[in-house]
């Protein structure tokens, strides 16, 4: 059975998320999504909030749709909440409590992976919609993955929407082949790299190899998307400084195409 899912998602359990879990579930089901891997920010989260989050994920999951709870920690995904931020020792504890530990948006880490990360990583997010756009992975993130795979050939490639509100929905989407939809089955498939992610025109394997477009075309698409995103963020920041906002409809139009 073909199963479509989304990864790196945020709800109102994150300090910057706009959709509650019930609204998010209905929104995703309408779009043919069967599982959603949530990665809520831990920055301002308490233990009690983390427990409510995991409980609500379970309560809202059905036979045809699954919420899989996880956390995005400043310095991984697990249902066990270990604190708001992580140093090297805490990061190792997060990893041990996790099914899968992924480095999100490497660009925000200046593509630097220290010894602790090398030790615990299961995957690298080479395609983050909010930083790379909807079209193709970021070439520098792909090169980082290839570099790390020389030491750890089993290191996986992942992609994520980094979803915070409805107009963030897009790609890359994940595709799994499972006999039935269960949390265990989805997590095992992700952990073992039994998935692809991407769009109708670009499909990326769990080892970071993609099909559907030439390498040159991907580079041009990547550079163009990143340029638009970076320029857009700078324009927004400048307008905000002077008390203005970029027109919402224009922002949505641009983001729907990039």
Residues 129 and 226 in one domain: no
- Per the DSSP assignment, residues forming a β-bridge with 205 are 196
Query: One digit per residue, pLDDT tens: the chain, 258 residues?
Result: 999 999 999 999 999 999 999 999 999 999 999 999 999 999 999 999 999 999 999 999 999 999 999 999 987 445 566 566 788 888 889 899 899 999 999 999 889 999 999 999 999 999 999 999 998 999 899 999 999 999 999 999 999 999 999 989 999 999 999 999 999 999 999 999 999 999 988 999 999 988 765 566 677 777 777 777 777 677 776 766 667 676 767 666 666 667
Residues 162 and 233 in one domain: no
Cα separation, 165 vs 20, whole angstroms? 10
pLDDT at 212: 60
Residues 158 and 226 in one domain: no
Residue 125 near residue 131 (C-beta atoms within 8 A): no
Residues 13 and 109 in one domain: yes
| Residue in this structure with the two tokens 């991907």, named with its chain if needed | 218
Residues 148 and 231 in one domain: no
Residue 104 near residue 160 (C-beta atoms within 8 A): yes
Residues 139 and 247 in one domain: no
Residues 208 and 244 in one domain: no
How many Cβ atoms are within 10 Å of 184's Cβ, its own excluded?
8
- Per the DSSP assignment, residues forming a β-bridge with 163 are 9
pLDDT at 76: 45
| CA trace torsion 118, 41, 97, 141 (10° rounding) | -20
Residue 96 CB partners (closer than 8 Å, separation 6+): none
Cα separation, 89 vs 78, whole angstroms? 16
Cα separation, 108 vs 106, whole angstroms? 5
pLDDT at 258: 72
How many Cβ atoms are within 10 Å of 203's Cβ, its own excluded?
16
Instruction: At 189, list the tokens.
Output: 């498939």
Residue numbers of the domain that contains 252: 217-257
Considering Cα of 73, then 194, then 54, then 18, what sign does the dihedral take? positive
Residues 182 and 246 in one domain: no
| CA trace torsion 65, 82, 159, 139 (10° rounding) | 180
Residues 36 and 146 in one domain: yes
Cα separation, 28 vs 166, whole angstroms? 10
- Please count the structural domains in the chain: 2
CA distances from 194 to 20, 121, 160, 239 (A): 30, 17, 16, 44
Residues 138 and 26 in one domain: yes
Residues 236 and 191 in one domain: no
Cα 157 to the chain's mean position, in Å? Answer: 11
pLDDT at 214: 57
pLDDT at 188: 97
| CA trace torsion 95, 60, 49, 38 (10° rounding) | 40
Cα separation, 202 vs 69, whole angstroms? 27
Residues 25 and 38 in one domain: yes
Q: What is the CA radius of gyration of the chain?
A: 18
Residue 129 near residue 162 (C-beta atoms within 8 A): yes
- Answer whether 0.95 is exceeded by the pTM: no
**Domain with 207 in it: what CATH number?**
3.20.20.140
């Amino acid at each position: 059975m073909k199963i479509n899912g989304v990864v790196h998602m945020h709800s109102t359990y994150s300090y910057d998320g706009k959709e509650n879990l019930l609204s998010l579930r209905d929104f995703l089901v309408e779009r043919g999504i069967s599982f959603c891997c949530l990665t809520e920010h831990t920055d301002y989260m308490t233990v009690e909030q983390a427990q409510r989050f995991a409980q609500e994920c379970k309560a809202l999951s059905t036979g045809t749709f699954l919420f899989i709870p996880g956390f995005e920690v400043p310095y991984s995904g697990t249902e066990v909440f270990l604190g708001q931020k992580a140093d090297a020792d805490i990061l190792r504890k997060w990893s041990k409590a996790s099914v899968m530990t992924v480095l999100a948006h490497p660009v925000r880490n200046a593509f630097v992976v220290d010894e602790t990360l090398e030790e615990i990583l299961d995957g690298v997010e080479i395609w983050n919609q909010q930083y790379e756009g909807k079209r193709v992975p970021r070439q520098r993130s792909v090169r980082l993955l290839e570099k790390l795979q020389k030491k750890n050939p089993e290191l996986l490639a992942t992609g994520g929407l980094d979803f915070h509100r409805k107009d963030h929905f897009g790609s890359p989407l994940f595709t799994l082949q499972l006999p039935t939809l269960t949390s265990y089955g989805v997590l095992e498939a992700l952990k073992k790299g039994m998935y692809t992610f991407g769009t109708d025109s670009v499909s990326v394997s769990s080892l970071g190899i993609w099909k559907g477009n030439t390498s040159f075309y991907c580079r041009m698409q990547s550079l163009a998307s990143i340029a638009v995103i970076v320029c857009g963020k700078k324009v927004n920041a400048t307008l905000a400084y002077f008390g203005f906002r970029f027109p919402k409809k224009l922002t949505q139009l641009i983001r729907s195409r990039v």
